[in-house]
Amino acid sequence: MAVPVSVHETSSVEYAGTLDRVVRFGRGLAVALAILFFWSGGLLLAWIAVPYVFMSERDPLRRRRRLQRMVAGAWAWFLRCCEAITIYRVRYQGTLPPDEPCVLVANHPSLLDVTAIIARMPHACCVVKSSLVDSPLVGRLLRACGHVGAGDGSLMAGVGVLDAVRERLQEGFPVLVFPEGTRSPLGGMRRFRRGAFEIAQREGVPLVPLFLRCDPPALGKGTPVWRHPRRCPTLTVSVEPALNLTEVSPVAACKQLQLEFRDRLGVPRRSEGAAEE
């Protein structure tokens, strides 16, 4: 026999459902406003800070480092604001490498991964989407900070990217590369490309893996901001021991690191997850 449901119980369920929708909408709105604020700050830095530093500092490398510190400070402040309103927080495990030439490789679970890493490593140059480097809004800021466009995927573009990364290393900057090429799919991880590993070997610099985990998942590939979780997402940046690629081939190192990351994320070792040959 069906148990009758009282009007009071029905109203409570409806109220809880409405409250949940309101809370989720509010958190999604907060994230959208935070991202808008983030890009607005980038726009101001690009069109105010960059001209000021270019006029006041003649040495190109000192100019770049000065702008990098300004951007890192702004991003660190932005992340503190995100934590204060409980929409995103970052935690670091391990010791980040010194400000010396090295290749940093990381998986890419969320939109703010670059922000979190450079907030702690101001002088790292990153390989980013060419659409951002060429953007009329923030492109001049990214170029002034030494970031490198990833190209269009063609062979000649790839050669240009490798040359630019080598130039940054020779100038004394760490270089951050996401070997997946874009953000990870929800609950997964894309195939690693071996370019970063080959550059580290050719230039004789250490390769430092950064293992990133966002719990609960947020700001991932294809995840709209209005689906932001109710619990504050925590991005954990774990600094792994540096790899010396004079003792192992780039292909083997790429495959092994990818498998280790997939195991730690609980992602099955499917054939399509193999490192790029």
* Integer Cα distance of 162 and 127 in angstroms: 10
* Chain CA centroid to CA 153, Å: 20
Which residues contact residue 134 at a Cβ distance below 8 angstroms, ignoring those fewer than 6 apart?
Answer: 149
* Mean pLDDT, range 239-253, rounded to an integer: 92
> What's the pTM value of the predicted model, to 2 decimals?
0.89
What's the average model confidence in pLDDT over 44-69? 96
Give the pLDDT band of residue 30 (cuts 50, 70, 90).
very high
Pairing of strands 175-177, 103-106: parallel
Concatenated DSSP letters of 220-260: -TT--GGG--SSPPEEEEEEPPPB-TTSS-HHHHHHHHHHH
Lowest mean pLDDT among 138-152, 243-257, 260-274: 260-274
Torsion angle of alpha carbons 84, 185, 116, 43, nearest 10°?
-90
Q: Is the pLDDT of residue 10 over 90?
A: no
Give the C-alpha separation, 238 to 104, whole Å: 12
pLDDT one-digit tens code per residue, 122-159: 999 999 999 999 999 999 999 999 999 987 766 556 77
Supply the pLDDT for residue 17. Answer: 63
Q: Residue 262 has what pLDDT?
A: 95
- Which of 120, 72, 125, 122 is CA-nearest to residue 103? 125
Q: Which two tokens stand for residue 146?
A: 């030494």
The string of pLDDT tens digits covering residues 72-109 is: 999 999 999 999 999 999 999 999 888 899 999 999 99
Using CA atoms, how far apart are residues 258 and 151, in angstroms rounded to an integer?
23
- Quickly state the pLDDT bin for 222 (edges 50, 70, 90): confident
Burial classification of residue 27, based on how many CB atoms lie within 10 Å of its CB (0-12 exposed, 13-18 middle, 19 or more buried): buried
* The pairing of beta strand 234-239 with beta strand 207-215: antiparallel
pLDDT at 258: 96
pLDDT above 70 for 251? yes
Q: What percent of the chain has pLDDT over 90?
A: 73
